[in-house]
């Protein structure tokens, strides 16, 4: 499990907010409200004086207005919580970005449980050690640049985005949904999605059309292992190709203490990150998400990280995956790609 002793704004904000909310009695659910209202109505009816006239009709309890799942679309939430620093993608731009993901080839480029086994990292460390032994005058006499050895810039230098989240938050399902047409019922399987928490044991990197890379990581939390956390921390602090971190949060569960710890680390390290809520289709009402955001304090951070809402599942009520156009556009922006960019061919692809 990842540990941080940082005292950052988000933790103090969360603790303060929780203290405030803890003084209020727990909110009653809809069933309790209806049960109490019905009991009161029945009691009042029993005590009504008998009369020859017909008894007055008991007024049906009013059901509190809630936004049901079928109207709780990720697009609605994405528009409501879009950062003031982020412009909504146009219809044309969304079509081009979605087209890239639907047409692209995908290749599992590397999978490892050791940061130094990532292609180029061990060589990079050796080069840094060698350079540190020389003075500036000695460097002027080096005829052959050290950078000529090892993997080519196209292989090592592509921008990378990484997905972090606790065990079973839906990282693998999200990655599969990203690379599948949103209207296609069954998502293509690139990252194995298991119902067993902690299934992903290594970091897995996918080359996407030779334009950028997506990195899947082991989940943290109860099922996480210390060595996995160490590898991920090394990646976050030392990987030069890293462009943005996507923090995955379950829409029903909200933020955990481990999530706050990771956010603290990202803030301290100056690593750009965004929040992605998964499994929006499981929500009953909008107020659940609103409470998660308010209690977490993430929207009060000076950087105001963007928040994206997604659903990887399809159903009769929701025939297409939700929020992926918004997320794809964010990845393009993080990697410095324009909407009209086309994928390049890959050898031995997964698609």
Beta partners for residue 311, in sequence order: 322
Q: What is the pLDDT of residue 7?
A: 41
148: in domain: no
Question: pLDDT confidence of 315, banded at 50, 70, 90?
Answer: confident
pLDDT value for 271: 95
* Nearest-angstrom CA–CA distance, 7 and 143: 48
Question: What does the alpha-carbon distance between residue 55 and residue 53 come to, in Å, rounded to a whole number?
Answer: 6
Strand segments, DSSP code E, in the chain are 106-112, 160-165, 203-208, 212-216, 242-250, 273-278, 307-309
Q: Distance (Å, rounded) from C-alpha 244 to C-alpha 306?
A: 12
In a domain, 38, yes or no: no
Which two tokens mark 302? 């000076």
Contact 113, 227 (CB under 8 A): yes
Q: Per-residue pLDDT averaged across 219-231, rounded? A: 78
Summarize the chain as % helix, strand, coil (round to 5): 40, 15, 45
Domain count, the chain: 1
Contact between 167 and 221 (Cβ < 8 Å): yes
User: Does residue 145 form part of some domain?
Assistant: no
Helix (H) or strand (E) holding 77: helix 74-80
- Report the residue count for the chain: 351
Distance CA 185, CA 199 (A): 24
Is 22 domain-assigned? no
Strand partners, 214: 161, 206
Of the candidates 103, 125, 105, 128, the residue with the CA atom closest to the CA atom of residue 116: 125
Quote the CA–CA distance of 56 and 294 in Å, as a whole number: 45
Residue at 41 is within a domain: no
Q: Tell me the pLDDT tens digit for each residue of 68-116.
A: 444 447 888 998 888 877 888 999 999 999 999 999 999 999 999 999 9
Looking at the domain assignment, is residue 291 inside a domain? yes
- How do residues 257-282 score in pLDDT, each as one tens digit? 999 999 999 999 999 999 999 998 88
Structure tokens at 117: 């086994």
When the pLDDT of each residue in the chain is averaged and rounded to a whole number, the result is: 76
Helix, strand, or coil (residue 43): helix
Return all residues near 77 (Cβ < 8 A) that are at least 6 apart.
277, 280, 286, 289, 309, 323
pLDDT at 286 > cutoff 60: yes
| Lowest pLDDT segment from 33-37, 121-125, 141-145, 209-213 | 33-37
Assign residue 236 the CATH number of its domain: 3.40.50.300
Residue 299 has pLDDT above 50, yes or no: yes
Range of the domain at 114: 73-119+155-335
User: In sequence order, what DSSP letters do the residues of 191-225 get, joined into one string?
Assistant: S---SSTT---SEEEEEETTTEEEEE---BSTT--
Instruction: Provide the H-helix boundaries in 179-323.
Output: 226-238, 257-269, 286-296
What pLDDT does residue 124 have? 87
Q: How confident is the model at residue 141 (pLDDT cuts 50, 70, 90)?
A: low
Inside any domain, residue 262: yes
Q: Answer yes or no: is 23 within a domain.
A: no
Structure tokens at 52: 């020859």
């Amino acid at each position: 499990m990842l540990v941080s002793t940082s005292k950052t704004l988000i933790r103090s904000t969360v603790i303060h907010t929780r203290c405030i909310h803890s003084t209020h009695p727990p909110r009653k659910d809809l069933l309790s409200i209806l049960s109490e209202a019905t009991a009161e109505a029945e009691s009042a009816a029993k005590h009504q004086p008998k009369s020859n006239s017909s008894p007055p009709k008991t007024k049906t309890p009013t059901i509190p207005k809630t936004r049901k799942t079928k109207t709780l679309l990720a697009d609605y939430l994405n528009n409501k919580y879009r950062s003031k620093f982020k412009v909504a993608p146009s219809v044309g731009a969304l079509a081009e970005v979605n087209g890239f993901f639907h047409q692209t080839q995908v290749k599992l480029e590397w999978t490892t449980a050791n940061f130094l086994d990532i292609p180029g990292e061990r060589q990079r460390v050796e080069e840094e050690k060698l350079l540190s032994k020389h003075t500036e005058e000695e460097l002027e006499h080096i005829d052959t640049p050290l950078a000529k050895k090892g993997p080519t810039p196209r292989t090592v230098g592509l921008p990378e985005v990484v997905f972090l989240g606790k065990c079973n938050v839906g990282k693998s399902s999200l990655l599969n949904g990203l690379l599948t047409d949103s209207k296609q019922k069954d998502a293509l399987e690139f990252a194995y999605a298991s119902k067993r928490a902690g299934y992903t044991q290594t970091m897995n990197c996918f080359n996407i059309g030779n334009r950028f890379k997506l990195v899947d990581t082991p989940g943290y939390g109860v099922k996480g292992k210390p060595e996995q956390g160490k590898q991920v921390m090394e990646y976050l602090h030392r990987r030069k190709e890293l462009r943005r971190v996507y923090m995955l949060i379950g829409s029903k569960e909200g933020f955990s203490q481990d999530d706050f710890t990771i956010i603290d680390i990202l803030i301290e390290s100056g690593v750009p990150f965004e929040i992605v809520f998964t499994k929006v289709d499981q929500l009953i009402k909008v107020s659940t998400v609103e409470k998660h955001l308010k209690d977490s304090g993430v929207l009060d951070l000076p950087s105001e990280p963007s928040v994206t809402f997604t659903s990887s599942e399809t159903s009769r009520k929701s025939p297409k995956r939700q929020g992926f156009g918004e997320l794809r556009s964010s990845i393009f922006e993080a990697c410095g790609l324009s909407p009209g960019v086309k994928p390049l061919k890959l050898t031995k692809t997964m698609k």
